[in-house]
Structure 1
Amino acid sequence: MHKLKFLLPVLCLVYLSLPATVRHPLHVSTAELSFNAKEKSVEVSCRIFTDDFESILAKLYKRKTDLSKPSMKPEMDEIVKKYLTSHLQVKVNGKAVTLQYVGFEIDHEATNIYLEVDQVSTMKTAEVTNTILYDLFDDQMSIIHVTNGKKRNSTKILFPDKTFTTNF
Structure 2
Amino acid sequence: MAAIYSKLLLALMIFSFFLEPSVKHPLHVSTTEIEFNSKEKNLEISCRIYTDDFETVLAKQFKTKVDLNKPAMHKAMDELVKKYMNTNLQYKINGKNLTATYVGFERDNEATNVYLEIENVTSLQSLSLSNSILYDLFDDQMNILHAVKAGTRKSVRANYPNKGLNVTF
TM superposition shift of 1:157: 1.1
Residues 9-57 of structure 1, C-alpha deviation per residue, up to 9 Å, x if partnerless?
xxxx99x946163857211100010000000000000000000000000
Do 2:128 and 2:167's aligned partners in 1 also have CA atoms closer than 8 Å? yes
TM superposition shift of 1:143: 1.1
Measure the CA separation in 1 of the matches of 2:168 and 2:41: 18
Residues 102-145 of structure 1, C-alpha deviation per residue, up to 9 Å, x if partnerless?
00000000000000000000001000110000000000011110
SS in 2 for 1:155: strand
Measure the CA separation in 2 of the matches of 1:147 and 1:81: 23
Measure the CA separation in 1 of the matches of 2:84 and 2:94: 24
Which of 14, 17, 22 is the aligned partner of 1:19? 17
Measure the CA separation in 2 of the matches of 1:101 and 1:139: 27
Structure 1 moving runs of 4+ over 6 Å: none
Match of 1:54 in 2: 55
Q: Give the TM-score normalised by the residue count of structure 2.
A: 0.87
Match of 1:145 in 2: 146
SS in 1 for 2:17: coil
Amino acid at match of 2:52: D
Match of 2:115 in 1: 114
Gaps of 5+ in 1: 1-12
Do 2:156 and 2:166's aligned partners in 1 also have CA atoms closer than 8 Å? no
Gaps of 5+ in 2: 1-9
Measure the CA separation in 2 of the matches of 1:144 and 1:165: 9
Q: Give the TM-score normalised by the residue count of structure 1.
A: 0.87
Measure the CA separation in 2 of the matches of 1:149 and 1:97: 21
Amino acid at match of 1:125: S
Amino acid at match of 1:147: V
Matches within 5 A, 1:11-160: 17=14, 19=17, 21=20, 25-160=26-161
Residues 48-91 of structure 1, C-alpha deviation per residue, up to 9 Å, x if partnerless?
00000000000000100000000001100000000001101111
Measure the CA separation in 2 of the matches of 1:156 and 1:97: 21
Measure the CA separation in 1 of the matches of 2:88 and 2:100: 11
SS in 2 for 1:32: strand
